[in-house]
Each structure stands twice: as structure tokens, then as C-alpha cells.
Structure 1
């Protein structure tokens, strides 16, 4: 995998083969960041990277100037790899070794962008817990977005707060937002 843009554009990152991960493809990642680039100034957002795996998404935000990044994964090897990689690039990424659902239950700080990349084979009930917990616990800023990466075979359009989806090959990104009438 490589960093697509920003200060570390073109840098390759090679994760240990033993990590239980499926990194977001460079093509899908580039398309996602093109969308986000039109919505946000990366140096003024806070990011929560759930099921962070190799830290692929966190590095991309950090390379583009985001300073407030929290990466959550339950695998010690993933957290260790993110810490080592972030240190080697002098990136500030706060890592938390935790089950994502436990973290979402206890978290108090809202974020501008929450990105979740759970296992593609999650049952729909597990996928639905992500937006449920994010919105129940007010973890998204009013102008924020929750993005859930999933297989094109998983349909999240019936979930509450769903906004739209974008498809890139076999990858889908579903976007969830606070409806404008909920902000009042």
C-alpha cells in the first residue's frame, strides 16, 4: 500500500503478513479522499479510524495535515505496527487497543470524520451497531460524516442516518450524517 497524497505522497508501507487485515485499496482510498477533499480542510478536522488495521487511512489523513487522529483496533500487532509506522514518519496518531464496540460505548469526544472498515463478512447486525452507537453517543460533530467501508454485497441503505454510497470495484463506502432537521 502507498500514501496517495500530501506530505508523504508515494511512500510505500509494507505491513507484516501475519496481521489479520484487508487494507483499503489505493484506488478506493484515492477516490474517497477526493470526495473528502471537497468537503473538509484536513488540517481542521478530527478523525476516528475504527478497525484501523494497518493504519492505512490514518496515515493518509496525517499526510494531508490532520493532527487529531485516533486509531482503534483490538489487535495488538496492528496497534504496534501503526505506532511504529507513525513514529517513523513523525505522525501524531493516537492509538487505542480496544474492541471497537466497547470503545464506541465509552467514548465521549465527537469527531468530524469517523471511518470504519470492519471485516467484510460481518453480519448486517454488526454493521448496524456502528452507526447506532456513533449517533446514540453523539460521537459525530454536526458537520461530520461517518463512512463505513464494506463489500458491494452488503446493503446498508436501510440503516438510520444513511445518506448515500459510492462504489469502487468491490469496495463500497456508505456515508452516514446527521440530518439537517436533527441539528435544530
Structure 2
């Protein structure tokens, strides 16, 4: 796992092998950030990273100038790794919360420029993520939600859906406020 852009470009991270995660591949992450560079100014934005796992996406946003990145995961091991890595590399804009994502979303009142969700692919509630985020008005006007999911899953029926990109077995569905 490596940071592919920004101030920490090239930094290799080696999370513990026992973390309960499936990190976004470097290929998919690079493609995602190439898309984002053409759609949104990353410098100064406020990001919510749901199911943050190793912090792979969290660090990438912080490296590229996000003002604040909130990483949420239910695994204390993952949260501790993200906290330690953030502290080690001076990424003070990263904050973490250990929580069930769906409970967290029901209580969240802040709004974000960008929300990224990378749930376990076998999770049945993946289609609920856009529904809850838009019902709870968690995106700022013009804000973007990106959900990473298995390529065979279809999230296009949500009214805010705008785009779908596939990278092997992984796909990104984009939703705009």
C-alpha cells in the first residue's frame, strides 16, 4: 500500500496482516483520484471516510490537502493503526471514530464535501448507504458520495446516482448532491 499523490507521495505503508480489511488496490485508487482531480478541488475539503480500514483512502485525501478527514470503522485495531500512522506522519487533519457505520450515520449532523464508503463487499446494506446519506443531508451542496462495491452490484437506481466506474472486481458508484 502506498500514497500515490500529494505531500506524502510514494510513502509505503505496511499495515499489520491481521487487520479485518480489503484495502482498495493501488490501481483502483489511482484511477479514482485521477477522476476526482477533474471533478473537485481536493485542497481544503472536508471528507468522511466510512469503513476506513487501514486508512488507505484517508491518508490519500490528507496527503492531497484535505482540511479534515474523518475515518470511521468498527474495528478498534484499524482505528488504532490509522491514529498511530497519522500521528507518525504529522497528519493532524485526520480524526478517527470507532463505530458501527450505520449507527454513526444516524447520529452524524456535520456535512461533508466528499464521503467515501468502502464497505465489506458481502454486506447486504450497501444500497442503504446512499439512501441514508441523502436522507440525513450529510453532503454539502455540490458534494460527492463515492461507494466502492463489487462490480456485479448495481447502485444506479438512486436518484442522485451520476456515474459508475469498474476496475476488475471493484467498482465505484458516484452520487452528487
TM tier relative to shorter chain: over 0.9
In structure 1, the gaps of 5 or more residues are 179-184
Alignment correspondent of 2:9: 9
| 1:68 to partner: Cα distance | 0.8
Aligned to 1:28: 28
Corresponding position: 1:137 with 2:127: no
Structure 2 equivalent of residue 90 of structure 1:
90
Aligned match of 2:41: 41
Correspondence for 2:109: 108
Is the partner of 1:146 in helix, strand or coil? strand
**Structure-to-structure mapping, 1:155-170, within 5 angstroms:** 155-170=154-169
Q: Number of aligned pairs?
A: 176
Show structure 1 runs of 4+ deviating over 2 A: none
TM-score by length of 1: 0.93
Q: Does the 8 Å contact 1:161/1:176 carry over to 2? A: yes
- Aligned Cα root-mean-square deviation (Å): 0.9
Three-state SS of the structure 2 residue aligned to 1:21 is: coil
Specify every segment of 5 or more residues in structure 2 that has no aligned partner in the other structure, as ranges: none
Deviations 1:68-124 (A, max 9, x none): 11000010000000000001110021101100001100000100000000001122x
Counterpart CA distance in 1 for 2:16 and 2:137 is 35
Q: Distance in 2 between matches of 1:160 and 1:73?
A: 27
* SS at structure 2 position matched to 1:54: coil
Name whichever of 43-52 and 153-162 sits farther off: 153-162
C-alpha separation between the residues in 2 aligned to 1:106 and 1:70? 14
Paired residues of 1:131 and 1:160 also in contact (CA < 8 A): no
CA distance in 1, matches of 2:160, 2:33: 21
TM-score, length basis structure 2: 0.97
CA shift, 1:159, in A, is 2.7
Identify the residue that residue 51 of structure 1 maps to in structure 2. 51
